[in-house]
Amino acid sequence: MQFRVIVLLPVLLMVAVQTLARGTYQEPQAFVQQAFQGDVPSATMLWLTEDLQASIGKILGHPYDGLRLRYWRRDGRTVWILEEIGKEKAITTGIIVNQNRIEEVKVLIFRESRGWEVRNAFFTDQFKNAALKADTRLDRHIDGISGATLSVRALTKLARLALFLHQHTEADHVPS
């Protein structure tokens, strides 16, 4: 009997951790509220031309079919709620860009059974103050997490995407 408890306990703990890892850590609207300390500007739309869609597709590694993206802007800061597939399901992420540098990356909703470690500050803090190089790569290396490779890639793509989109907000936005 004692042997079964010793064998089953790690299995039960692993299942519990995976179940708790999935979920909503912060509602997207609450992230936007927090980013602007409660004084949220009107949402703005970035309309995606064919060229922008093609560039987004290169960053993501797959075609992007959307016609527009919603964001919030004030004083050179933009806030983006973006999603990318980890292994099989979307990871919803909030990203703040300030003067062409990442101010914050936060996993808002995680739906995968693995890779949830990307939500922790030890991982997301690596993006702080990152900028985009001319080739749309980040100006720094982002350390991976063993067992969370696809989630790491998804967040790295989204960070690159937010920086890229931020650069295109001056000319191509209209209030919604």
Q: pLDDT of 5-58, one tens digit each?
A: 555 545 444 444 444 467 999 999 999 999 999 999 999 999 999 999 999 999
Tens-place pLDDT, residues 112-146: 999 999 999 999 999 999 999 999 999 999 999 99
Which pTM does this prediction carry?
A: 0.85
What are the phi and psi torsion angles at 175 (to 5°)?
Answer: -60, 145
The conformation of residue 138, written as its DSSP 8-state character, comes to B
Helices (H) and strands (E) in the chain, counts: 5, 7
Domains of the chain, by residue range, sit at 2-175
